[in-house]
């Protein structure tokens, strides 16, 4: 029997958390704020830091830490990611204060009709390759946005910055990452710091959610964050995530279901657990029945019309350049995960589906 989908809650989500931060610093948000965050920000801390740990959903937190652990002791609530609950869509929402339908960064691989290319947005590669999609960044060309630090800095109400483990000024080692957060939260004036860390997600993709690597990572992050928090003064530290994780069973469209694959105009996109299908005209009338026959126990299928009616990718005005939502979108509910072919990365765990394990993320807070 198919599990019930856990739909995103765009009144109680990472979108609303981002809007709380923006509102606190005098930026008018485009969406409702998160009441739990608002209450904490009303204490007017001198420094605010948001630590986003990739993949640390509530299910992962509970799986690897005892109730007495620092991060679980200071869990304010579980709340919703966006759809799909995946890094590209969720962290861009955190960075922009916009829903996925507004910012356009729907998932790892997005189809751009303007270029007739499916592009891995963060890497700017053609899907499934390491070939540059263009001499410019395709996703930024069609979906530019102003990030949360820039928006806050424009108000003059705080010194805002982003701390990444990669990019032009990377803090790629955990020691350096924590040191930079601590340095910023010790400055004389008011500061806001958004700090993203790429684990435990990376360990879980490679080794699974119950692996020793994932466990050791979560335990170490718990220890280091407790140490950081207890070393700071007049600082409100939030810890959250972009999504949770599920261990998966892999399957393949092109190799195992060639008759189904021939119904498609191009290889599916967005994410293996949040799949956008572009269907050949002659198959559109039978596609849903065939999909549900083959995959209906594991995925919930939506027509394009239903995607917009249900506001799966969020509220707000769809971006004018958005072309990445195909004729149908399928959201995974169980462990079975469909890839295009066996060339896909050999992940043991994944996310982006509509299970509660993937959708519900923690809001953790500590007032130093």
Q: What is the dihedral of CA 123, 58, 275, 7, to 10 degrees?
A: -130
User: What's residue 2's pLDDT?
Assistant: 66
Whether 239 and 263 share a structural domain: no
User: What's residue 168's pLDDT?
Assistant: 87
Whether 47 and 195 share a structural domain: yes
How far does Cα 180 stand from its chain's mean position? 23
Q: Does the residue 114 lie in any domain?
A: no
The rounded percent of the chain whose pLDDT value lies above 90 is: 98
pLDDT band at 317 (very low <50, low <70, confident <90, very high): very high
Whether 194 and 290 share a structural domain: no
Q: What's the rounded mean pLDDT across residues 307-312?
A: 98
Is the Cβ–Cβ distance between 65 and 221 less than 8 Å?
Answer: no
State pLDDT tens for residues 122-165: 999 999 999 999 999 999 999 999 999 999 999 999 999 999 99
> What's the order of all strands across the beta sheet hosting 75-80?
75-80, 360-367, 235-240, 47-53, 191-197, 159-163
State pLDDT tens for residues 280-299: 999 999 999 999 999 999 99
Q: Does the residue 125 lie in any domain?
A: no
Instruction: Give me the CATH number covering residue 241.
Output: 3.40.720.10
Whether 147 and 229 share a structural domain: yes
Whether 65 and 138 share a structural domain: yes
Q: Does the residue 330 lie in any domain?
A: yes
Q: Does the residue 116 lie in any domain?
A: no
Q: Does the residue 2 lie in any domain?
A: no
Whether 207 and 295 share a structural domain: no
State pLDDT tens for residues 237-270: 999 999 999 999 999 999 999 999 999 999 999 9
Burial category of 157 from C-beta neighbours within 10 Å (exposed 0-12, middle 13-18, buried 19 and up):
middle
pLDDT band at 186 (very low <50, low <70, confident <90, very high): very high
Instruction: Give me the CATH number covering residue 270.
Output: 3.30.1360.180
Whether 232 and 283 share a structural domain: no
Is the Cβ–Cβ distance between 239 and 72 less than 8 Å?
Answer: no
Whether 49 and 161 share a structural domain: yes
Number of domains present in the structure of the chain? 2
With a CB cutoff of 8 Å and minimum separation 6, the contacts of 215 are: 64
User: What's residue 177's pLDDT?
Assistant: 98
1 pLDDT exceeds 70?
no
d(Cα 89, Cα 40) in Å, to the nearest integer?
26
User: What's residue 3's pLDDT?
Assistant: 80
Whether 142 and 59 share a structural domain: yes
Whether 327 and 280 share a structural domain: yes
d(Cα 13, Cα 326) in Å, to the nearest integer?
25
Whether 147 and 280 share a structural domain: no
Is the Cβ–Cβ distance between 303 and 288 less than 8 Å?
Answer: yes
Q: Note down the domain range covering 142.
A: 14-103+132-246+355-367
Whether 18 and 145 share a structural domain: yes
State pLDDT tens for residues 61-94: 999 999 999 999 999 999 999 999 999 999 999 9
Average pLDDT, the chain: 97
Q: Does the residue 8 lie in any domain?
A: no
Q: Does the residue 123 lie in any domain?
A: no
User: What's residue 164's pLDDT?
Assistant: 97
User: What's residue 273's pLDDT?
Assistant: 98
d(Cα 3, Cα 1) in Å, to the nearest integer?
6
pLDDT band at 23 (very low <50, low <70, confident <90, very high): very high
Q: Does the residue 192 lie in any domain?
A: yes
């Amino acid at each position: 029997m198919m599990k019930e989908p856990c739909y995103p809650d765009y009144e109680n989500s990472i979108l609303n958390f981002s809007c709380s931060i923006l509102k606190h610093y005098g930026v008018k948000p485009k969406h409702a704020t998160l009441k739990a965050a608002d209450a904490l920000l009303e204490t007017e801390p001198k420094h605010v830091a948001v630590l986003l740990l990739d993949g640390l959903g509530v299910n992962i937190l509970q799986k690897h830490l005892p109730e007495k652990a620092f991060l679980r002791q200071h869990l304010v609530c579980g709340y919703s990611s966006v759809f799909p609950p995946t890094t590209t869509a969720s962290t861009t929402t955190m960075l922009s204060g916009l829903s996925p339908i507004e910012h356009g960064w729907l998932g790892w691989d997005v189809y751009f009709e303007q270029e007739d290319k499916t592009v891995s947005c963060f890497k700017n590669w053609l899907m499934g390759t390491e070939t540059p999609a263009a001499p410019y960044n395709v996703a930024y060309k069609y979906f530019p946005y102003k990030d949360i630090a820039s928006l806050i800095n424009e108000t003059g109400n705080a010194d805002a910055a982003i701390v990444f483990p990669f990019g032009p000024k990377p803090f790629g080692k955990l020691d350096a990452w924590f040191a930079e957060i601590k340095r910023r939260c010790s400055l004389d004036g008011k500061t806001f710091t958004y700090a993203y860390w790429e684990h435990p997600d990376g360990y879980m993709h490679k080794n699974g959610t119950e692996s020793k690597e994932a466990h050791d990572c979560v335990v170490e992050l718990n220890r280091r964050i407790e140490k950081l928090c207890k070393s700071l003064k007049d600082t409100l530290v939030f810890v959250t995530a972009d999504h949770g994780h599920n261990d998966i069973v892999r399957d393949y469209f092109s190799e195992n279901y060639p008759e189904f694959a021939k119904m498609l105009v191009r290889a599916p996109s967005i994410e293996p657990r949040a799949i956008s299908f572009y269907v050949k005209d002659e198959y559109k009338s039978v596609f849903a029945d065939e999909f549900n026959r083959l995959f209906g126990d594991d995925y919930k299928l939506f027509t394009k019309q239903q995607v917009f009616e249900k506001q799966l990718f969020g509220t707000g005005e769809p971006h004018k350049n958005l072309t990445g939502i195909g004729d149908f979108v399928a959201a995974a509910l169980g462990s079975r995960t469909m890839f295009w072919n066996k060339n896909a990365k050999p992940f043991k765990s994944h996310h982006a589906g509509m299970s509660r394990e993937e959708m519900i993320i923690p809001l953790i807070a500590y007032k130093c």
